[in-house]
C-alpha cells in the first residue's frame, strides 16, 4: 500500500494504477444501515476480509446467476413469497405483490449478454 500527500493510505501505487488501468473498475458504494450491519457481521466472522472482497464475490455471483434465467426467476419468486408472507394480507399487500411480480418478469426477461 502507498500513501498520498496527506499520509492517507491508498490501495495502489501510481505504477500499480497504471498497470490495471482499463482492466477493471474501482468505485465507492453507499450501503443502507441494515446491509452495512450485515456486511460488518460477515467481516467480523471472517467470511470476507473487507468490503472490497465482499463486493467482488457479490458481483461474481450476480454474473454467474445472470447466465441462468430460470434459477434467477425461482430465486426472485422465493424472495417475493417470503416478503409477501412477512407483510400479511390486504390491498397494500396485493399492490406490492403486483409490483414485485412485474419487476420479476422484466428482470427475468433481460438478456444477460447485453449487460
- For residue 10, the cross-strand partners are 2
Distance CA 84, CA 75 (A): 14
Distance CA 74, CA 67 (A): 13
Tens-place pLDDT, residues 71-113: 888 988 888 888 766 666 566 777 887 888 888 888 777 766 6
**Contact (Cβ atoms closer than 8 angstroms) between residue 50 and residue 57:** no
Tens-place pLDDT, residues 21-48: 667 777 789 999 999 999 999 999 999 9
Amino acid at each position: 500500500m502507498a500513501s498520498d500527500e496527506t499520509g492517507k493510505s491508498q490501495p495502489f501505487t501510481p505504477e500499480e494504477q497504471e498497470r490495471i488501468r482499463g482492466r477493471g473498475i474501482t468505485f465507492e458504494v453507499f450501503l443502507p444501515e441494515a446491509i452495512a450491519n450485515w456486511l460488518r457481521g460477515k467481516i467480523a466472522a471472517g467470511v470476507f476480509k473487507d468490503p472490497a472482497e465482499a463486493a467482488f464475490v457479490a458481483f461474481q455471483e450476480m454474473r454467474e446467476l445472470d447466465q441462468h434465467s430460470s434459477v434467477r426467476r425461482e430465486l426472485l419468486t422465493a424472495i417475493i413469497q417470503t416478503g409477501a408472507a412477512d407483510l400479511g394480507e390486504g390491498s397494500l399487500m396485493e399492490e406490492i405483490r403486483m409490483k414485485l411480480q412485474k419487476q420479476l418478469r422484466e428482470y427475468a426477461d433481460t438478456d444477460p449478454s447485453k449487460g
